[in-house]
Structure 1
Amino acid sequence: MEFVQHLPPPLLAPFVTAAHGYRVPSYPLGVHRGLPSSSMTLVFELGGRLRITGLSAAISSHAMVCGLHTRAALIDARAPMDGVQYALTPLGARALLGVPAAELHDRPVDLAEVLGPAAAEVVDQLHEACTWDERFAVVDRALVGNLEAGVPPEPAEVREAWRLILTGRGRVPVSAVAAQVGWSRRHLSERFRWATGLTPKQLSRVARFEAARALLTGPAPVPLARTAALTGYADQSHLDREWRALTGCSPTTWMREELPFVQDEDSSSAADSRT
């Protein structure tokens, strides 16, 4: 198993929150859950077609982008995988991909539908690349080349609402967020959903889930009841219900089935990280 972290060039910093390369063996359970998060996913799979179900559309492709979602994406992991994955900010979807994030909500999309023939060209260049640095350079170059400098940024109110929700880990009431940015709750929800694919309430759920997951998978895992209390759930039962709704299984099932995979990814990333 190999995970290699990458720091994209400064031009992409507002739009890319993380990037890594991976080589992983087949997953013993056959299906890996792609969990909801506050980032969109851009992935190039070179070992074979990546197959995803569980969202509003199924897909089989070497290159795809997936918008924000509030349920697990089911990834066919029966065969070894080898590729490159970038985490994108939904607020940068129009700048990098030319489409608003709302159009990608809850579905993986073949990158050819978004970028046309350029998507296949990137896949071909990745197959020809011999090192991780060369692979990352291919994707960086494609994204920078596609950067639409003329696309206006999302309204400052939307960007501030996004920041408030994430820094507050989903615990700031939507009404308070709306008041902070000077919009009505209804207007904020409409504009926010168009810009990101989620409503402020949905992003708050995802942000709280991410905070809980971080505590459960950290170097010193926090017990479930304590995690629930620290992340704003009413109690452990509330955490359990939300976890099932967002992942399709209980926290204990996820930790038993998926946590070893996550821990291997984290340890490999630490060992192989580069800038």
Structure 2
Amino acid sequence: MPSGLPPPSRALARDACPHGTWEVVRGLPHPRLRPGVRGYRGYRMDLGYGRRRLEVPDACVSLVFNLADPVWVTLGTQRDATARPYTALLSGLQTRPTLGEHAGRVEGVEVLLAPWAAFGLLGQPMGDLADRMAEPVELLGRRADLLAEALYEAVGWGPRFALLDETLRTWTEATGTRAAEPLRRAWGELVRSGGSLPVGELAVRTGRGRRRLEYLFREQIGLTPKTAARVLRFQRALWLVNHGGRPLADVAAACGFSDQAHMNREFRAMSGRSPRRFRSERGADLPGPAGVDRVTGQVTSIVLPGRVSRS
């Protein structure tokens, strides 16, 4: 199929085990897809034993295709009755942690999307995906399966990322849906402020009434402005807690929390951990790609100790 996009000059960033047991590769999407498509991530692991990984809210919509064994995902910090195996996964914006587990052999591709870009890609209200996960076929139909098959057959990360470029362009054009420009500006303002901009000020800056802005956020982002700000403020605090060694009270003040206790409550709600415990578990010396976060420039994950066995 001829491509509608000229091939980009693609530089791939690769982290890999010298013994060949794992690799994580990142690539930027075609310039015409940015900034809505934030990045691509390819991963491959053959560890010989299973691992558990805690994921925290990151203000991204994630589209994942596992090309080897499925990954089990639980909405929460402990595996329970909500755990499901996924060979493909579409995750909306989250406000709570999730637990991912695999049996040791995984390979796949992840697309990271700004929520307003996911609205254009899916052509459906993003509120339907908030705090939940779905099989891509539920929202994308047969084309999700066709993409999974094509990714499996493609050889190498560069060709896989090029396939994603072309497919995402085609899907977005097919929906004919586009996020409202005031909504995109509002999201950008909120991201730049680290979630500290009051909703009233956000409405003034974008020239929309508060109620109208809240409606657009629920439809095209998935969360209200206030809840989205909570996630972004938490993400900023995560970064400061895990980089630079600042006292926690200073981090709380810098991120706009009312006090350190307020920040602690948000950490427990969104990660199941106190800031100190999160930082300690992040620093654990574990084999495998423990230090590779899903989103460049953000703290998104903890690789948990112990091994998982699943038949």
TM interval, short-chain normalised = 0.7 to 0.9
Distance 1:259 1:178, change over 3 A: farther
Q: Which residue of 1 aligns with 2:87?
A: 62
2: CA distance, partners of 1:263 / 1:121: 32
Residue 156 in structure 1 maps to residue 177 in structure 2: no
Residue 245 in structure 1 maps to residue 269 in structure 2: yes
Distance 1:209 1:50, change over 3 A: same
1: CA distance, partners of 2:99 / 2:182: 34
Amino acid aligned to 2:71: L
Deviation at 1:66, TM superposition (A): 0.5
Q: Which residue of 2 aligns with 1:52?
A: 73
| Residue of structure 1 aligned with 2:111, choices 78, 86, 102 | 86
Cα contact 1:46–1:127 (8 A) shared by 2: yes
Amino acid aligned to 2:242: T
Q: Which residue of 2 aligns with 1:127?
A: 152
Q: 1:33-53 deviations in whole A, cap 9, x for unaligned?
A: 221122101111122112212
Q: 1:184-207 deviations in whole A, cap 9, x for unaligned?
A: 323321221111100000011011
Distance 1:169 1:255, change over 3 A: same
Deviation at 1:28, TM superposition (A): 8.5
Residue 197 in structure 1 maps to residue 218 in structure 2: no
Residue 40 in structure 1 maps to residue 51 in structure 2: no
Deviation at 1:29, TM superposition (A): 8.8
Calculate the aligned-residue CA RMSD, in Å.
2.7
Secondary structure, aligned partner of 1:148: helix
Secondary structure, aligned partner of 2:263: helix
Cα contact 2:257–2:263 (8 A) shared by 1: yes
1: CA distance, partners of 2:48 / 2:140: 31
Deviation at 1:126, TM superposition (A): 2.1
Residue 109 in structure 1 maps to residue 109 in structure 2: no
Distance 1:146 1:241, change over 3 A: same
Cα contact 1:59–1:109 (8 A) shared by 2: no
Deviation at 1:131, TM superposition (A): 1.3
Secondary structure, aligned partner of 1:99: coil
Cα contact 1:217–1:263 (8 A) shared by 2: no
Amino acid aligned to 2:276: T
Q: 1:167-221 deviations in whole A, cap 9, x for unaligned?
A: 1111111121122223332332122111110000001101111111122333x34
| Residue of structure 1 aligned with 2:190, choices 133, 153, 165 | 165
Deviation at 1:257, TM superposition (A): 2.7
2: CA distance, partners of 1:27 / 1:245: 33
Distance 1:95 1:157, change over 3 A: closer
Q: So what's the TM-score if we normalise by structure 2?
A: 0.77
Distance 1:17 1:2, change over 3 A: same
2: CA distance, partners of 1:54 / 1:16: 25
Identity rate, percent: 35
Amino acid aligned to 1:265: V
Q: 1:239-258 deviations in whole A, cap 9, x for unaligned?
A: 11111011122222222334
2: CA distance, partners of 1:240 / 1:104: 27
| Residue of structure 2 aligned with 1:264, choices 280, 291, 295 | 291
How many residue pairs get aligned? The number is 267
Which ranges of structure 1 fall in alignment gaps of 5 or more residues?
271-275
Residue 235 in structure 1 maps to residue 262 in structure 2: no
Residue 141 in structure 1 maps to residue 162 in structure 2: no
Q: 1:216-235 deviations in whole A, cap 9, x for unaligned?
A: 333x3434233222212223
2: CA distance, partners of 1:111 / 1:5: 22
1: CA distance, partners of 2:71 / 2:50: 16
Distance 1:265 1:150, change over 3 A: closer
Which stretch shows the higher mean deviation, 250-259 or 14-23? Answer: 250-259
Deviation at 1:135, TM superposition (A): 2.0
2: CA distance, partners of 1:198 / 1:245: 16
Residue 71 in structure 1 maps to residue 96 in structure 2: yes
Q: Which residue of 2 aligns with 1:19?
A: 40
